Chain A
Amino acid sequence: MTTVTTAPAGREVGAHGAPSRAGRGNRPRPWLYLLPTAAVLLPLFGYPLYMLGLLSVFDYRQAQVSGGQPATFVGLGNYATLLGDPRFWSILWQTVAFAGALVVATLAVGATLAVVLTRAGRVPRMLLSLSAMAAWAAPAMTGSTVWMFLFDTDLGLVNQVLGIEGFNWFYDKWLAFFVVGATVVWHSFPFVMVTLYAGIQAVPSSVLEAAALDGASAWQSFWRVLVPMLRPLITIVVIQSIIWDFKIFTQIYVMTNGGGIAGQNSVLNVYAYQTAFGSSEYGLGSAIGVIMTVILLVVTLFYIRAMYRRGEAL
C-alpha cells in the first residue's frame, strides 16, 4: 500500500484503532462535540437539500414566490419537462464533455509537472512550487478577470502578440470553452501536482533503483512502476477533479457573462441558476439541481469505494 509519508498528520487512527476512550462513561461526549456542527449543518445544509428536492416536484415560479398563486404539486412534471427538452440534453453532454476534458488536461499537466519536480534542482523546484501556490490561491473570480483581460478583443495581450487585434475569443463556442478551460486548469493543476509529488516522494527510492538495475528506461519505470504504485492516489485525485470540474460555475458565469451568447457555453450548474433566478422557474431549476446532485452522488460513491480499496479506515 502506498502512503504519503511526507504528511506529519500521520495515521494513528485505523490500524491499531486509536479512537478510544469509548466505554469509559462518556458515551454522549462525541455527540456533544458534534452539536455545534449539527446546529449549523442541519438547518443550513440538510434542510435546503430537502427543500431542493421538494421544490423540484412543484410548479414554483414568480407568482408562487410572491404568494399570488398557490404552489401546485406537479410530481415528476419538471423532470419530464427537462428530459423532453433537447436544450437540457445538449447542456448535460456539454457539461460532461467539458468536465472530462478539464480532468484530462489538469491531470496531464499536474502529473507531468509532479514528475518534473522530482527531477529538477532545488531552485527550479522552489520556483515552480511557489508559482503553483500563487495560481492555486488566486480567487476564481480574479483568475477569471485576468484571463479575460489577457484574451480581450482589443487590449488583450494574446491578440496583440498573435497580431489578431479585434478577434473575439468568446464568439465561438469552442474557443470560449477553450479559454475558460485554460483558466480552470491554471487554477486546478497545482492540487494534482502537489498531491502526486508527495505520493512520488513516498515511493521508496530502492524500488526505482531496482527497476533501473533491471534495465527499465525512465519511461518504463514511470508507467510500469510509479503509476501502478500510485494508482489509489491517482484514483482519488481523478475523482476529486471530476467533482470539482463538473460543478464549475464562477469561471463560466463571469468569463462568458452568464453562459455565453444565447447560453452556448452554459453548463448544468449555470443552467440551474439561470433557470431559477434568471427565468424565475424555481421548480425547474431545482430539478436540474437534483439531477446534478444525483450524478455527483454516484461519483462520490466511487470515491468512497476507492478510499476503502486503499485500506483506509475512516
Chain B
Amino acid sequence: MSRSRLVANTVAVAAAVVTLFPIYWMVLSAIKPPGEIQSLETRPWTLAPTLDNFTRILGGESFDRYLLNSVVVTLSVVALSALVAFLAAVAVTRFRFRLRTTVLIMFLIAQMVPIEALTIPLFFLVRDLGAVVPGVGLNTLGSLVLVQLAFSLPFAIWMLRGFVAAVPESIEEAAMIDGAGRATVLWRVLFPLVAPGLVATSVFSFITAWNDFIFAKTFIISATENQTLPSALLVFFKPDENDWGGIMAASTLMTIPVLIFFVAVQRRLVAGLGGAVKD
C-alpha cells in the first residue's frame, strides 16, 4: 500500500469515526441506565443496556401520540408532494412552452426564501383559513400538512426533473403508437419508470415534514394533543435539570426512521443530487 493511500485511509476512517460518534453517543445514552448518565465518570459503553428511557417517555407526556401525529403529517406530505411534483416535473421536462424558464426560476427562488420569516404571514393566513375551512386552521394537523407540502414542493420538482428527463421519450411514443391514451402513458408508463427517482426525492419531503419544528411550534398553540415530535422534544428540557436519558431516547426515536429511509435510497439519492446540482 502506497503512503498516500495509507494517509487517505487513516483520514477517512478517522473522519468516519468522528462523524458517526454523535449518533453513537445518542443511541448509547438512550439505552444507558439513568445512574450511568448521571454519573460523573462517563464511559463510552454500557454493560447494562436498558429500554427504561424509551418506556418512560412513551408512557408519559403522551409521546406516543406525538409520534403518531408526526407519522401522519409526514406520510401525507410525502404522498401528496410526490403526486403533485411528478405532474409538475413532467410539465417542465416534457413540454416546451412560453414562460417555462420563468416557472423553473420561480421554483429555484422559492427554495431560497427564508421559511421562518414566512411563518409570520402564514400564522395569520392559517388562522383566517381555519375560520372558513375546518381542519386546516390553527391547532390542526391539516395546517401542518398544507404548509409543509408547499415548502417541500419546489425542491422536489427541481430534483425530479432529472429523473423524468432520464426516461427516453421513445418509450412513451411507442406506447402512444400502441394506442395508449395520454392518461395511460402518464400513469401506467411514465410514473412507474420515474418511481425510483420519486422515492429518492421523497426523502427530502420526508425530512422537511419530519424535522419541522417551527410550524408545529407556531401553529399548534393550545391543542397539545396535536403536537408533533420535534417540539415535543423540547418538553424534556427543564430549567433546573435536563432529562438527558429521555431527550436522547426521544432523539433516537426521531432519528431512526429518517436514517433508515436515507440509507435505503442512498444510491439513488446521490445520483439524483448529481442531477439536481447539474441540471
Contacts and interface: CB of A to CB of B under 8 A. Distances in A.
Interface string B90-116: 111111110011011100111111111
A254 B214 CA distance: 11
A231 interface: no
Contact of A289 (B11, B118, B275): B118
Interface in A20-55: 20-22, 26-27, 29-34, 36-37, 40-41, 43-45, 47-49, 51-52, 55
A197 B26 CA distance: 29
A289 B117 contact: yes
- Of residues A19, A243, A254, which shows the largest number of chain B Cβ atoms within 10 Å of its Cβ? A19
B258 A146 contact: no
A7 B274 contact: yes
Nearest to B241: A154
B96 A198 contact: no
Contact of A250 (B26, B97, B169, B213): B213
A157 B42 contact: yes
- Of residues B15, B87, B94, B197, which shows the largest number of chain A Cβ atoms within 10 Å of its Cβ? B15
Interface in A224-254: 233, 236-237, 240, 243, 247, 249-250, 253-254
A243 B120 contact: no
Contact of A130 (B94, B161, B197, B263): B263
B248 interface: yes
Given A19-B94, A135-B19, A36 B83 contact: yes
A124 B8 contact: yes
A18 interface: yes
Contacts of B118: 45, 48-49, 52, 289
Nearest to B104: A314
Interface in B142-163: 146-147, 149-151, 153-154, 157, 161-163
Contacts of B8: 116, 119-121, 124
A155 interface: yes
A265 interface: no
Contact of B13 (A33, A128, A138): A128
Nearest to A119: B8
Contacts, number: 349
B69 interface: no
A248 to B, nearest CB: 10
B120 A276 contact: yes
Contacts of B263: 130, 133-134, 137
18 contacts: A7-B274, A9-B166, A19-B96, A37-B85, A37-B87, A40-B149, A49-B113, A52-B120, A116-B8, A127-B13, A128-B19, A136-B262, A138-B258, A141-B213, A249-B214, A277-B120, A303-B112, A304-B108
Given A149-B25, A297-B112, 7 more contacts: A21-B95, A43-B125, A55-B121, A131-B20, A141-B254, A142-B252, A273-B120
Interface of B: 1, 4-5, 7-9, 11-13, 15-17, 19-20, 22-23, 25-26, 29, 37-38, 40-42, 44, 83-85, 87-88, 90-97, 100-101, 103-105, 108-125, 146-147, 149-151, 153-154, 157, 161-163, 165-166, 168-169, 182, 197, 207, 210-211, 213-214, 218, 230, 233-234, 242, 244, 247-248, 251-252, 254-255, 258-259, 261-263, 266, 270-275, 277-279
Interface of A: 3-4, 6-13, 17-22, 26-27, 29-34, 36-37, 40-41, 43-45, 47-49, 51-52, 55, 65, 113, 116-117, 119-121, 124-125, 127-128, 130-143, 145-147, 149-150, 152, 154-155, 157, 160, 165, 186, 191, 194-195, 198, 218, 233, 236-237, 240, 243, 247, 249-250, 253-254, 268-270, 272-273, 276-277, 282, 285-286, 288-290, 292-293, 296-297, 299-300, 303-304, 312, 314
